Amino acid sequence: VLEHCEDPNTQQKVMDEILGAVSMLAQDQYGNYVVQHVLEHGKPHERSTIIKELAGNIVQMSQQKFASNVVEKCLTFGGPAERLLLVNEMLGTTDENEPLQVS
């Protein structure tokens, strides 16, 4: 829909819906492709919104079949500060969740 929609108002409404359901879409069999598309082709503020929404759950999502693909796109297309935030979370240098490292 986003690729073929010419009306900016409709595009914005669709994007608002996507950004409002990022966590659910990222874990969905088909919705994860929508989030990946926005991460790859969206505007910088849309990417940031997605990454901020998923931050705090990155470790759990990286272990899920569909959401792990979204986490990979976050690391690939996020800005330097966003990537650092996610990597620190994965390595356990934040208080958000259990790190990927095993003691």
pLDDT digits (tens, 9 = 90+) for 61-80: 999 999 999 999 999 999 99
Average pLDDT of the segment spanning 43-65 = 93
pLDDT digit string, tens, across residues 23-41: 999 999 999 999 999 999 9
Average pLDDT of the segment spanning 87-101 = 67
**Residue 25 in tokens:** 């879409």
Contact 55, 85 (CB under 8 A): yes
Residue 96 pLDDT greater than 60, yes or no:
no
The pLDDT, as a whole number, for residue 2 is 75
> Measured between alpha carbons, how far is 2 from 74 in angstroms, rounded to an integer?
19
HSE toward the beta carbon, residue 99, CA cutoff 13 A: 13
The reported pTM is 0.85
The pLDDT, as a whole number, for residue 103 is 43
